Structure 1
């Protein structure tokens, strides 16, 4: 009882140890229930319901009854505890419907069909709009007469009234007498949205709208289908559904795993017992998806709890040491009078057991109460609905509380056991010469711990995650890796403790020249008893380190969500169209007009690939074609995405200015036909090769059209053949119409293509002369257009180049000018070689721009290809090969997922339009299919409102704000961390303050004689206050400063290994640690208030001490 106040502080630690340990289980169960409820509520209730379908089944009595019994039994046994109700539905095979006495028209594919159907409990779920409920049909010697009901909407659609009769002919027995049915009632569902109908009441039950022929869905009693109809048609078959309507409120964390196993087992059992049976439900997938998400969400939580519990245990060790140190004289006295170690330990064991008993009882209750109140905080409002959280005290919570108090008991008994080894002599010696180092520092045990921690830290860095794969693919958490952050923190702390005495000696040496006795005296005491102060510094250090992580967690998580949303969107708003068909400038104008916005930049997303036949390397990539100068103004970017800024990377995509090529191939406006004189190779004239000649033209918007040229008339005497084609009848693309005849056009290519290559390696020559246009085709006896407009006579071919990019092989063609033209003029001569393995398209086109373009690529692309920055290579883009130069690389790029299978190539959109659209037939225009917008404010986000003029395709709308809202709609991640983080750090803060107060006052009692003598020697109150303040501030600043610097890498370490999403993949982009300095200052301010109050109280206590009062306290 003499130490009841000190024991009270020990009890606080024991209770908190039990509370924190049990809170892991209590909090996990509460989060699982809340999160599971949230996940289930996010699904369509019909998707969670269980649908059992047995198709192609008979209706005969015993088989039918067995099927009903097996299905019901499996459903009740497997998931009966979570079902609200079950519903059975059956539907027969098809009958051909015809008027009474009239056979069906089997030649008509649109002839009416019909089927019988029943619902168990139908009468309670419908209203009779007209007529009455159908009676059960009686078996007959021939075809039975059956009363049926029809949906009221279907009756209107099919023009059926009550009293109408029809003949139903079974499709599998058309020679049989038809079943005569009479409509006796028109019915409608009371509530089409009732779970009873499973969401298909108005789709396929009461009215059938998904067929191209009239379908009469007749309702009959179940007994009619299994009785009279089966008696007449024993081979009648159909499909049967059994619906299990799930009550999601009955699914919780304790039965979720069993439900998943039951549904899977039920599915396997039904398939084994009933042929052609399937079970459909999203319930197991929803639960498993949530469990996986929860696994990765809670994993860092356990790593944090190891640190928190470790700090609590250290607090207990520290306070226990203080308790034992006060009683070490009594222990030595007991030992000198014959008490054994066991007897002394029994005393402390009884004390500890009583404290632990209180901890086991109070700890879980305290944890449960605190966790329940978290439901009132904003972080949990999305999960708890603003009310308290229901908690469950499971057996695991109690067991963890027991583990917590057992650890606490060990922390209490270890100092007592060490004290039992002291004799009276040892005790007196320790008073005269306090120990300089603890045993684990004297024997270098700290170095061993540092080695172990360093090894585990290396393992964690190598593995990159706290998660390990089991033998059969399951995921688990490695317990050793979970304690790695704690060991890392302890490693730094131990290094500090080993260096702390050295730091004190240096400080004492540096303070020798100071005037006054206050600071030197304080340094001397610190140097003389470093172990005494190391304990408190270590507590402050550990608490501050964890506090740094706690202070930055919320800001880090919020920033990560912002970054992920911005990265996935790429820009404040992004519109993705299924296909691109407009040139960039026209596309931008259309988007800006449709969205009523400005500053839109076009982007083309397509595929690209790299292949090296020599090394059998193939790399598939996405390609993003952007406009430098615009893209970087809108796109989201972070400095850690690449070694260069986005502005610099975009600048590398801008081609260097080159000397412009001669302008050739201008086609004037107003002409309807285009043609040329040519001496074609055999590849064109021989029908066996299926060759054709064509030209490709473009307009000022870079829109492309291809026109086939056909021979007109007979060759002239020189063997020259005239070829012509109509400019209003493009071969490709047909969906773009024809060029505007009032606009000037640009020749893009003259080419010919064949689909059947000759065998072997053959050499061919093609001559072209006098490319021209005309207003009408020439007559049969005319040579060329009557009044042609000459486009090019090919007197100079320097402005042309052969078409390349058809294959990776060097283009085997040479273009030159020869004096072999028609009428002694110049002509263009194309010489080329053809092999059965080579390209089958040849031609020439006007020169334009560079022959290679700069691209920037992902780091993975460089690794897979073995290329380096500055290398030139070929990429397959837009169905042709393009020469590229690798101008830079990046690790991350907006909208690109590095975890996916595809690498990324980024190119200049304007350059792509030229270089990647040079091969006719194969490479169409590289048009933008995405619009990146600088803002989504004021924009109608309805995709149907964003359809571009002349298109029928609605875009996919992605906004940064929308993605951020979606991420915030599931508060599981933030809540599951934030709640326990708050409780844990509050506990650490409380223990730190309490430990500081207790430690300080116990120190005051032990040094009362020393300060009384100082007062007698003439120390003033100010000097006493200064001495106490200096010692305490030195301890506080040292612990807080080192803890702050330790907290930075610790926070980074924790963030690194919590940086996985709900699927266990790396967060893209990586999480960047943030520090909320306002929170840090708040925490420091709270600690400062406690520390200042304690220092003032100590100074007042010390200043009032005198020698005679101190001596009356006894020998201390």
Structure 2
């Protein structure tokens, strides 16, 4: 207990240092524990969105699971045990096993198809018989309403079983309610009578009870009360049973990532139960959400790798911060540790006391970290871009044992980091400690071990490996998943930042000596003293400078990475679409209608088969109504023929032909000018002068040896070729991807890359053929999509399909990877600036307190407070200011080299236009403001402390 009290008192004496260390540990634990919370939350949101999109596209409810078994006709005694086994598993294990709210659980029984006819019909010919089966559903009475008639009785009435039918079945059987049907089939031992007494329809249109929304599966069925059917089919076997099914409907809007494992496990349980009951060909298991949910295991793994990779630079920075603070604590207490060692205290006893202190701090961090991690997750969930936040539906945040486990491991790592300086300090005796204090110039351990060179070498190797991997992927037409992507590719930026910072600090003392030597005859006393102080005590500032370099460089890198990824994602969508709105329009033509499907061998009359004409003739719709739609600023006609051909001399190849009106196209399309040697409009103006001018892609020029000035012949199947002249060669053009298509290709194929030719639409229509083109539209900045769509509806324009770039951009921003990137990089940027500010103030305040005697002597020999403040301000600029400048330079260089690594997360084959590194001026201005504020506050605090300095107290302290 005495030891514990001593530790608490020691912590109180160094409260600011201990508090700073606690902040670093809590931030580290919160950051690490937020990873599983955020990963689960973002995947839960995206899973629901994907299931909603699946329902919209297919019209089927994704929360439904249908299981059924086919009952063997030759073994009716086995039907009931088989049914009961599956029924028990589904109701007692599967339904609760999915861990989702149950909206409906329907059991159905279906009989074999049986022959029947009207009981009072004496005709025995085949025309009088119908094929019918009996069906029954649990609780169907609660989900239907009667269009006519009444509900059937549970027991036979005068030996006749009453049934329900749909209007479709009533029409098929050509009967009315009250008619009696007799079953006359060899599969039925006795003659049975059925009488339709009610016509049903759905009580609610949106009722999830029914598998088929229009009840089309009941068009040939009589519907018995469920208990009656169960007795006849399973217990008494009076009607041959064919199958039984269980329709389980769950509320998928409540699904979260935590439910995925239980969903897949329960799906497997259902599959195994059905297989044990019947053979593979006699079962059916249909889970509409299964494929989507199964894919999320892979997405979750990729997202976790990405989050760790993005957070590694920030974690390294926090580790350095904690090591710096722990080193300051150890430095201030080295004298005390040395005295304890000289008086017989064992090293393990001293380490144990600091270990207890670290355990207390880490315990507090583990208790608070996951809750702060949840708050960080809310912050990340609101990010809509880098340093951009919107009002969005909050993420489903859950704090489970996993965040605490992550936080515990992070706390243990922090404990190890903070105890290392204490272990090193206990190795020093009191004599060694005094000697070290006398030696101001010491070579840091990382320079002795050449850690800077090693880190830069590893970073260089990582960069080389990435570039080689990317070149292989793009040249082979592979996807990102075709090669094993090393997650260390995202860690090498931190190695580069650390290595570059250490290398610059190795060179910095020589730069100071050069500055001192150049102006030693002219420097004023304050600057002269500062240069000597910083030059001779360079190791004293190493920790602060490398810390500031790493934090500022990490902030710059995070900002650049986020801006680059956002910019390139938007550019890729805009380039791939070509314009704000792309529409395919219906053209009137003389093409024959599609051939109607008929039975095999059906005879073909004159109307059944119509020979297609050699060439389809189209009537071009008016273009002006599209330009008059609300919000439209410009419009263009864009014709694209995927399978066109060109020839030159003896060479012929398949190309994509685009036809445009140069003026309209240039005003409508989106294009990044840096992709070509000259702006796109310059190329369009070049070809505008001649109607037969075309632009060709560089793939055409290189693969088919075509150059500017050559004449080529262009056409397509059914259209004779016509001559065109090449006016220019382009690398990129809106919507054109010059990379090989995804998929393994023949390396010996020299024409593996796509080829493009761009010509005048008017000449193509006049000399080749008039075929449908797309309508590209550019919207005004303030135009709304809703008004535009309403305008199409009001104008009654015949539109086949619409590609809306604005919608695509919104969907891209909601992608979990982009959300994670923006959120984590924003967090990394903010933490970098915050930690650098705290570390800077802490270091300088403690450093000034440690130099009280030196400053007192300077004041005693006549140096004024003004000059002393100026000397410390210059010292700050030569250390902190230079470190910040170096951090910005290192961060920019790291961004230029390593930000392109992030394209490996996406599909590199679709990354057109190429990745362009973006360094936003606004982000640098934020850094400049923070740094300026940091230096100003630092100088202000130093000035305040110096103004309160008493010379006699400082000298008395020196005597003590």
TM-score for the superposition, normalised by structure 2:
0.80
Correspondence 1:327 to 2:333: yes
Q: Using the alignment, how far apart are the partners of 2:906 and 2:73 within structure 1?
A: 46
Alignment of 1:692-1091 (within 5 A): 854-857=694-697, 859=699, 877-879=716-718, 882=721, 890-897=730-737, 898=739, 900=741, 903-910=754-761, 913=764, 917=768, 925-935=769-779, 939-940=788-789, 954-968=799-813, 970=814, 972-1052=816-896, 1055-1059=899-903, 1066-1091=910-935
- Assess, with a 3 A threshold, how the Cα gap between structure 1 residues 1064 and 124 changes in structure 2: closer, same or farther: farther
Q: Using the alignment, how far apart are the partners of 2:713 and 2:160 within structure 1?
A: 76
- TM-superposed CA distance for 1:638, in Å, is 0.7
Q: Using the alignment, how far apart are the partners of 1:75 and 1:609 within structure 2?
A: 57
Correspondence 1:220 to 2:230: no
SS at structure 2 position matched to 1:47: coil
1:495 to 498, 503, 508: 503
- Assess, with a 3 A threshold, how the Cα gap between structure 1 residues 1072 and 941 changes in structure 2: closer, same or farther: farther
Of residues 1093-1102 and 153-162 in structure 1, the stretch that sits farther from structure 2 once superposed is 153-162
Correspondence 1:47 to 2:62: yes
Deviations 1:202-241 (A, max 9, x none): 34156x5xxxxxxx54322346656668999989575554
- Assess, with a 3 A threshold, how the Cα gap between structure 1 residues 879 and 238 changes in structure 2: closer, same or farther: farther
Q: Using the alignment, how far apart are the partners of 1:254 and 1:58 within structure 2?
A: 42
* Conservation of the 8 A alpha-carbon contact between 1:296 and 1:1063: no
* Conservation of the 8 A alpha-carbon contact between 2:441 and 2:537: yes
* Conservation of the 8 A alpha-carbon contact between 1:547 and 1:1080: no
- Assess, with a 3 A threshold, how the Cα gap between structure 1 residues 642 and 926 changes in structure 2: closer, same or farther: farther
- Assess, with a 3 A threshold, how the Cα gap between structure 1 residues 588 and 995 changes in structure 2: closer, same or farther: same
* Conservation of the 8 A alpha-carbon contact between 2:459 and 2:495: yes
Q: Which residue of 1 aligns with 2:399?
A: 392
* Conservation of the 8 A alpha-carbon contact between 1:89 and 1:119: yes
Q: Using the alignment, how far apart are the partners of 2:959 and 2:619 within structure 1?
A: 94
2:667 to 615, 633, 642: 633
Q: Which residue of 1 aligns with 2:658?
A: 624
SS at structure 2 position matched to 1:195: coil
Q: Which residue of 1 aligns with 2:33?
A: 22
SS at structure 2 position matched to 1:242: strand
* Conservation of the 8 A alpha-carbon contact between 1:23 and 1:368: yes
Q: Using the alignment, how far apart are the partners of 1:575 and 1:151 within structure 2?
A: 42
Q: Which residue of 2 aligns with 1:181?
A: 194
Q: Which residue of 2 aligns with 1:192?
A: 205
Q: Which residue of 1 aligns with 2:17?
A: 6
Correspondence 1:403 to 2:409: yes
Q: Using the alignment, how far apart are the partners of 1:228 and 1:330 within structure 2?
A: 93
* Conservation of the 8 A alpha-carbon contact between 1:1061 and 1:1067: no
* Conservation of the 8 A alpha-carbon contact between 2:182 and 2:193: yes
* Conservation of the 8 A alpha-carbon contact between 1:60 and 1:230: no
SS at structure 2 position matched to 1:64: helix
SS at structure 1 position matched to 2:105: strand
Q: Using the alignment, how far apart are the partners of 2:344 and 2:31 within structure 1?
A: 41
* Conservation of the 8 A alpha-carbon contact between 1:592 and 1:598: no
* Conservation of the 8 A alpha-carbon contact between 1:371 and 1:389: no
* Conservation of the 8 A alpha-carbon contact between 1:436 and 1:528: no
Q: Which residue of 2 aligns with 1:417?
A: 423
Q: Which residue of 2 aligns with 1:204?
A: 216
- TM-superposed CA distance for 1:10, in Å, is 2.0
* Conservation of the 8 A alpha-carbon contact between 2:587 and 2:620: no
- TM-superposed CA distance for 1:483, in Å, is 1.9
Deviations 1:315-348 (A, max 9, x none): 1121222222223333444445555544543443
* Conservation of the 8 A alpha-carbon contact between 1:21 and 1:400: yes
Correspondence 1:650 to 2:684: yes
Q: Using the alignment, how far apart are the partners of 2:213 and 2:260 within structure 1?
A: 30
Correspondence 1:33 to 2:49: no
- TM-superposed CA distance for 1:303, in Å, is 1.6
- Assess, with a 3 A threshold, how the Cα gap between structure 1 residues 75 and 580 changes in structure 2: closer, same or farther: farther
* Conservation of the 8 A alpha-carbon contact between 1:78 and 1:259: no
* Conservation of the 8 A alpha-carbon contact between 1:869 and 1:886: yes
Q: Using the alignment, how far apart are the partners of 1:148 and 1:402 within structure 2?
A: 65
Q: Using the alignment, how far apart are the partners of 1:579 and 1:232 within structure 2?
A: 63
Q: Which residue of 2 aligns with 1:81?
A: 97
Pair member with larger Rg: 1
Q: Which residue of 2 aligns with 1:563?
A: 571
- TM-superposed CA distance for 1:1106, in Å, is 4.5
- TM-superposed CA distance for 1:1000, in Å, is 0.5
Q: Using the alignment, how far apart are the partners of 1:598 and 1:989 within structure 2?
A: 43
* Conservation of the 8 A alpha-carbon contact between 2:556 and 2:829: no
- TM-superposed CA distance for 1:529, in Å, is 1.2
* Conservation of the 8 A alpha-carbon contact between 1:457 and 1:488: no
Alignment of 1:203-282 (within 5 A): 203-205=215-217, 208=219, 217-222=221-226, 238=242, 240-248=244-252, 251-263=255-267, 266-267=270-271, 270=274, 273-274=278-279, 275-282=281-288
Q: Using the alignment, how far apart are the partners of 2:378 and 2:669 within structure 1?
A: 43
- Assess, with a 3 A threshold, how the Cα gap between structure 1 residues 513 and 633 changes in structure 2: closer, same or farther: farther
Q: Using the alignment, how far apart are the partners of 1:234 and 1:611 within structure 2?
A: 73
Alignment of 1:90-169 (within 5 A): 90-92=109-111, 100-101=120-121, 103=123, 114-135=132-153, 145-151=160-166, 161-166=176-181
Q: Using the alignment, how far apart are the partners of 2:190 and 2:411 within structure 1?
A: 84
Q: Which residue of 2 aligns with 1:760?
A: none
SS at structure 2 position matched to 1:931: strand
- TM-superposed CA distance for 1:310, in Å, is 0.6
2:354 to 345, 348, 357: 348
SS at structure 2 position matched to 1:182: strand
- TM-superposed CA distance for 1:1072, in Å, is 3.8
- TM-superposed CA distance for 1:494, in Å, is 1.7
- TM-superposed CA distance for 1:1012, in Å, is 1.4
- TM-superposed CA distance for 1:312, in Å, is 0.9
* Conservation of the 8 A alpha-carbon contact between 1:653 and 1:887: yes
Q: Using the alignment, how far apart are the partners of 1:233 and 1:335 within structure 2?
A: 93
Number of corresponding residues: 890
* Aligned Cα root-mean-square deviation (Å): 4.6
More strand by share: 1
* Conservation of the 8 A alpha-carbon contact between 1:29 and 1:253: yes
- Assess, with a 3 A threshold, how the Cα gap between structure 1 residues 377 and 623 changes in structure 2: closer, same or farther: closer
- TM-superposed CA distance for 1:934, in Å, is 3.1
- Assess, with a 3 A threshold, how the Cα gap between structure 1 residues 533 and 1115 changes in structure 2: closer, same or farther: farther
- TM-superposed CA distance for 1:49, in Å, is 0.9
Q: Which residue of 2 aligns with 1:62?
A: 77
Q: Using the alignment, how far apart are the partners of 1:474 and 1:260 within structure 2?
A: 26
TM-score for the superposition, normalised by structure 1:
0.70
- Assess, with a 3 A threshold, how the Cα gap between structure 1 residues 81 and 899 changes in structure 2: closer, same or farther: farther
Q: Using the alignment, how far apart are the partners of 1:1010 and 1:879 within structure 2?
A: 94
* Conservation of the 8 A alpha-carbon contact between 1:54 and 1:241: yes
Q: Which residue of 2 aligns with 1:601?
A: 636
Q: Which residue of 1 aligns with 2:516?
A: 508
Q: Using the alignment, how far apart are the partners of 1:1006 and 1:148 within structure 2?
A: 97
* Structure 1 residues not aligned, in runs of 5+: 209-215, 658-849, 918-924
Q: Using the alignment, how far apart are the partners of 1:20 and 1:618 within structure 2?
A: 59
Q: Using the alignment, how far apart are the partners of 1:75 and 1:1064 within structure 2?
A: 45
